[in-house]
Amino acid sequence: MSSNLILISYIVSAILFILGIKRLGKVNTARQGNFLSAVGMLIAIIATLFKMDAIPLEWVLGGVLLGTIIGAVTAIRVAMTSMPEMVAIFNGFGGGASALVASAELFKYLNGKEVYLAELTKNSSDLTTTMITIVLSVIIGSLTFTGSFIAWGKLQGKISGQPITYPGQNIINLLILVGVIIAAYFFVVNPENMTAFYVILG
């Protein structure tokens, strides 16, 4: 499996996490939300297994085993009424993991450009497509991470469930979106532009 396809798999998994979080907001769709989140994690694990040339098998199996133990213990101890909060946190970690994997791919390029470009050529990929995939993974993964913890805060009653609005909100949101798009463009054009990358990550 090519590097681009692996990164696209991470994007798909992050999108499924976001859809899962959205469906967790209603009782009648919470089960669908859990299912979408589980499928997203499965896709991410399978994509990681296809990347075994860069990751030792024992690290992958160790991570799966550790995650299984933590998930099982938490699921047993957490009350059923608190299950949506727990799933929101797990979704957040999944989105964060997607952003971290994409970030690691970037630093892999920065730490060995010639080797990295040779790998892309071998896998019939190109640098621009890879960087676009990295940008999308970071954006979607970061949104999933922050959105999940906001959802957790609302479910826990730590954050008000009422919409938070303020004058000029739509304009500010638009400016943020435009800023992210501009930063993404400059990053894809020049992957060594870490300022643009940190703007996207933030």
Residue 183 confidence (pLDDT): 92
Task: Write out the two tokens for 33.
Answer: 């939300």
Q: Block means of pLDDT (10 residues each) for the chain, length 202 residues?
A: 71 80 72 82 77 68 84 78 76 82 84 74 71 86 85 80 80 91 90 86 76
pTM for the whole structure: 0.69
DSSP category for residue 51: T
Residue 54 confidence (pLDDT): 58
* Integer-rounded Cα radius of gyration of the chain: 18
Find where tokens 């949104």 sit. 143
- Cβ(13)–Cβ(43) below 8 Å: yes
Residue 55 confidence (pLDDT): 64
For the chain, give the longest Cα–Cα distance: 53
DSSP 82-130: GHHHHHHHHHHHHHHHHHHHHHHHHHHHHT-HHHHHHHHHHTT--HHHH
